[in-house]
Structure 1
Amino acid sequence: MSQLAEKPAEKPSLDQVWEWLDAVPDPEIPVISLVDLGVIRGVEWQDDTLVVTVTPTYSGCPATAVIQMDIETALKARGIGDLKLNTQISPAWTTDWLSDKGRAKLEAYGIAPPQPAGGPEKCPHCGSRHITKVSQFGSTPCKAHWRCQDCLEPFDYFKCI
């Protein structure tokens, strides 16, 4: 596809736009999409302008600019010429917004998904419940570092926020 995508003959449906956005990976955890992460809060047409509302995982998230650029790039490549990105910080993002599909993808990737109890239930590698917290801080501010006592593999736990 060329750098300059042709404008579609008619506006794509919102379902189509959501499908396109579901293919845009999170820049910090590329195994899940921005839709699975729950940061895409709304998509609507306002006349001929597509408005996408994004809630960052936290107000100082360094990936926010990259997320917005990735959304813009993905949609413009599909012919969306008139696009407006809104950043919405209230209500604040929460791990409750992670989709079930996203949680399953995190675990398959080796990251324990958030749990209401405040810690992982099991090792995402072997399923053992013999796990130990190594550090409250992991590879990103939203993750903690854990280790399995059976398979001895380290893993990140996506903290509840």
Structure 2
Amino acid sequence: MSTQFKTQLQRRMLLASVLILALPCAHAASHGTSVEVWKDPNCGCCKDWVAHLEKSGFKVKVNQTGNDVVRERLGMPRKLGSCHTAVVGGYVIEGHVPANDIKRLLKEKPAAIGLSVPGMPVGSPGMDGSIYAGRKDPYDVLLVSKDGSSRVYQGYR
């Protein structure tokens, strides 16, 4: 086998290996990042928030109970609670957090529990239906540290 042939063969094998390794990433990207949500089965705003995530490319699994138990188990402080709790990429998402902020969190990967939008501010995703007639109250998305403290991650005014 000539040296030139060996070099070409090695390059082709390397390219094939890269393509094979890239397939799972391409498959995952085309099917969205998985999010698991726990919510009250009767909550319409939670359902609207899930629809917001799905429109933004997330693949969402919904559990119709367990929000309070899951929030506590995952270490999200009760004072930062809302009507639904989710997990994505190892982070806890509490309340009506916009999809773009979740994507930013997953890209930046800070050392944190996750994100929270405490309460249910009108104008946040899921709390923006026609019943609110376009009203948008100011609110903050908080980055929650592992010690339970928080700081503003993104403000909406």
Could you say whether these structures have the same fold, taking a TM-score greater than 0.5 normalized by the shorter chain as the test? Answer: no
- TM-score range with shorter-chain normalisation? under 0.3
Radius of gyration: which is bigger? 2
Higher helix share: 2
What's the TM-score, normalizing by structure 2?
0.25
